[in-house]
């Protein structure tokens, strides 16, 4: 037990891991600021003399953020695998941090669902007091969206398979299960790209398209992030990084993936099924109350 204790400058033992000074929080803040400034300059079509900024600042900021994430997380993996300084107390902090991160992500989707339900339950004159709007050709829910739902649910099963394999010490099964999960995530993204290229409405054509693309597109971005997260875990599993006693890196990815699964179920039911088929027509009510 003594070798797992750390010491402060006073020499008193404690169970917490005190990280070394790191440059990544500062560089991460600068990268985030560069991305924000780049986005603002792009949206306002800012020019520096004869030079048009365009997407250059935005892309530079995004690349900076990705590089910071890569090197920062690489340091975290080094701490836990090589230095072995992450103990159970450290993992508690990591777990709370991941849970709070997922909760903050959930609030994004609450906002998008709120916008969709507001438009659906209280259709305005601008869209003819009906939902879906009369000029919108909606998607058939039990076609491609249902297939995408089955793909994500299957991926949830394979990531659970990987978790049980870790607990049982079957590393070959972990690699196989994570590989299947990453493949299913990539297939889902491929189908979503296909759906977006064949949908009969554009992002700026009203409240329905805007709410649809924001909710499903933001979810698609989460699927992309989760797929990359699990791909890193797949690579780490091939190196034998995960054991039954220490595998929080995988658990965090699994929590995130299950969160993505659950959000999609709400999207399928609320947006694709209810929002497309359970039409709301307030035109009769408007006629009755009109003077």
pLDDT in tens, 21-51: 899 999 999 999 999 999 998 888 888 877 8
DSSP state of 79: I
Maximum alpha-carbon separation in the chain? 83
36 falls within a domain: yes
Task: Give the integer Cα–Cα distance in Å for 197 and 210.
Answer: 15
1 falls within a domain: no
Higher-scoring residue by pLDDT: 10, 155: 155
CATH number at residue 27: 1.10.287.70
**What pLDDT was estimated at residue 2?**
43
Which tokens is 96 given? 């709370």
CATH number at residue 159: 1.20.120.80
- Is-contact 249 77, C-beta < 8 A? yes
- Is-contact 132 208, C-beta < 8 A? yes
Asked if residue 181 and residue 126 are part of one domain, the reply reads: yes
Overall residue count recorded for the chain in this entry: 291
- Is-contact 34 57, C-beta < 8 A? yes
**What pLDDT was estimated at residue 203?**
84
269 falls within a domain: yes
Q: Which domain holds residue 78?
A: 18-85
Question: Which residue, of 26, 52, 85, is where some domain finishes?
Answer: 85
138 falls within a domain: yes
Residue 4 CB partners (closer than 8 Å, separation 6+): 15, 87
Comparing CA positions, the residue from 147, 184, 191 lying closest to residue 162 is 184
Q: How many CA atoms lie within 13 A of 231 on its CB side?
A: 11
Question: Which residue, of 29, 53, 85, is where some domain finishes?
Answer: 85
**What pLDDT was estimated at residue 10?**
56
Asked if residue 256 and residue 133 are part of one domain, the reply reads: yes
CA distances from residue 100 to 39, 71, 165, 218 in whole angstroms, order as listed? 26, 23, 27, 19
With tokens 């978790």, the residue in question is 163
Please say whether the dihedral angle defined by the alpha carbons of residues 237, 241, 247 and 249, taken in this order, is positive or negative: negative
- Is-contact 61 35, C-beta < 8 A? yes
- Is-contact 227 185, C-beta < 8 A? yes
Asked if residue 278 and residue 179 are part of one domain, the reply reads: yes
Task: Give the integer Cα–Cα distance in Å for 272 and 120.
Answer: 12
Q: How do residues 62-109 score in pLDDT, each as one tens digit?
A: 999 999 999 999 998 888 888 888 878 888 888 999 999 999 999 999
Task: Give the integer Cα–Cα distance in Å for 238 and 257.
Answer: 20
Asked if residue 283 and residue 201 are part of one domain, the reply reads: yes
- Is-contact 189 223, C-beta < 8 A? yes
Task: Give the integer Cα–Cα distance in Å for 151 and 195.
Answer: 15
Q: How do residues 129-186 score in pLDDT, each as one tens digit?
A: 888 888 888 888 999 999 999 999 999 999 999 999 999 999 999 999 999 999 999 9
Give how many domains the chain has, as a whole number: 2
Residues forming a β-bridge with 131: 280
How would you write 253-269 as a 3-class SS string? HHHHHHHHHHHHHHHHH
């Amino acid at each position: 037990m003594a070798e797992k204790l750390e010491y402060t400058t006073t020499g008193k033992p404690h169970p917490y891991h005190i990280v070394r000074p790191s440059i990544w929080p500062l560089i991460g803040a600068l990268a985030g600021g560069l991305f924000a400034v780049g986005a603002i300059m792009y949206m306002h079509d800012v020019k520096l003399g004869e030079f048009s900024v365009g997407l250059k600042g935005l892309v530079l900021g995004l690349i900076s953020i990705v590089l910071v994430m890569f090197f920062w997380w690489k340091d975290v993996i080094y701490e836990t695998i090589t230095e072995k300084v992450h103990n159970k107390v450290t993992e508690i902090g990591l777990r709370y941090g991941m849970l709070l991160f997922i909760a903050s992500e959930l609030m994004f989707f609450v906002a998008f669902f709120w916008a969709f339900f507001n438009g659906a339950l209280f259709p305005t004159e601008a869209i003819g007091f009906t939902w879906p709007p009369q000029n919108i050709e909606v998607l058939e829910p039990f076609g491609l969206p249902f297939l995408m739902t089955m793909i994500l649910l299957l991926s949830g099963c394979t990531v659970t398979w990987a978790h049980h394999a870790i607990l049982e010490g079957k590393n070959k099964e972990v690699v196989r299960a994570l590989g299947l999960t990453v493949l299913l995530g990539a297939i889902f993204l491929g189908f979503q790209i296909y759906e977006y290229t064949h949908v009969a409405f554009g992002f700026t054509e009203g409240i329905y398209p805007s709410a649809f693309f924001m909710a499903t597109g933001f979810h698609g971005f989460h699927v992309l992030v989760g797929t990359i997260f699990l791909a890193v875990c797949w690579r780490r599993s091939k190196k034998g990084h995960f054991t039954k006693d220490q595998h929080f890196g995988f658990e965090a990815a699994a929590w995130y993936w299950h969160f993505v699964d659950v959000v999609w179920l709400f999207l399928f039911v609320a947006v694709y099924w209810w929002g497309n088929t359970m039409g709301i027509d307030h035109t009769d009510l408007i006629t009755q109350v009109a003077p």
